[in-house]
Structure 1
């Protein structure tokens, strides 16, 4: 006859406060560098939602923004603002997702009406008329 035994496992970890969130930090094995990102989680989440909502419209799941807003329980105006994020230049979206976007790119700034032309977006959001090279990493 065997008796039930219990095992206790202890994992050293630390909970660090970051602005607006908590992060669990586990110890890393020797020689392994942690993978970190400086991407703005609020902006990344907004972009993901925007592209999801756009896909649902494209697939015909909803006939209008008003219908989608009611079904998703989101204010119609905010939903429309989020959908504008799908019109961002691909390199700007990439900068945001890679965590390399300059501080001038934040959700409140992107919710405002932005130009449709990608070159105008770059000028307005990145350098206000300068070159984008230092942000994208090209020479």
Structure 2
């Protein structure tokens, strides 16, 4: 026998784990930049392991333009100490992922450090 009365189940919703507005600026971490670096290293791993054969293959699989993949793959060439600074939230505030996507990145780590110092001097 079916019950003709609709059943009511009380349900309480709470937001959990959501960051409040502006928390990225307070923490000092540039999450967009860190995400770009992480994606670049993940994609480089896919290439090194043979799971993907080219940046174009990755772009197709991710639904991205191949230039985006290539720009983020360049971030794997950053000096390890610079990446550590980014992970610690110690990058210059005006340094953003878009800068790396629109400007050439020196291959020499000393030149990269000088580039970063130029951002710090402007602050």
Same fold, TM exceeding 0.5? yes
Q: How many residues align?
A: 103
Alignment match, 2:60: 70
Where in structure 2 are there 5+ consecutive unaligned residues?
A: 1-9
User: Contact between 1:44 and 1:96, CA under 8 Å: does it hold in 2?
Assistant: yes
Q: Which has the higher strand share?
A: 1
Unmatched runs of 5 consecutive residues or more in structure 1: 1-5, 22-35, 131-139
Q: Please, what TM-score do these two structures have when normalized by structure 1?
A: 0.65
Q: Does 1:96 align with 2:100?
A: no
TM-score where L is the length of structure 2: 0.73
What's the RMSD between the two structures over aligned residues? 2.6
Distance, in Å, in 2 between the alignment partners of 1:95 and 1:113 is 20
Task: Note if contact 1:37-1:98 (Cα within 8 Å) is conserved in structure 2.
Answer: no
Query: C-alpha distance in 2, partners of 1:70/1:94?
Result: 30
Asked if the contact 1:88/1:121 (under 8 Å) is kept, the reply is yes
- 1:16 maps to what in 2? 20
| Alpha-carbon separation, structure 1, partners of 2:117 and 2:94 | 7
| Alpha-carbon distance, 1:90 to partner | 0.7
Instruction: Kindly indicate whether structure 1 or structure 2 has the higher relative contact order, using CA contacts under 8 Å at least 6 residues apart.
Output: 2
Q: Deviations over 1:16-62 (max 9, x none)?
A: 3227x8xxxxxxxxxxxxxx832111111111111100000000011
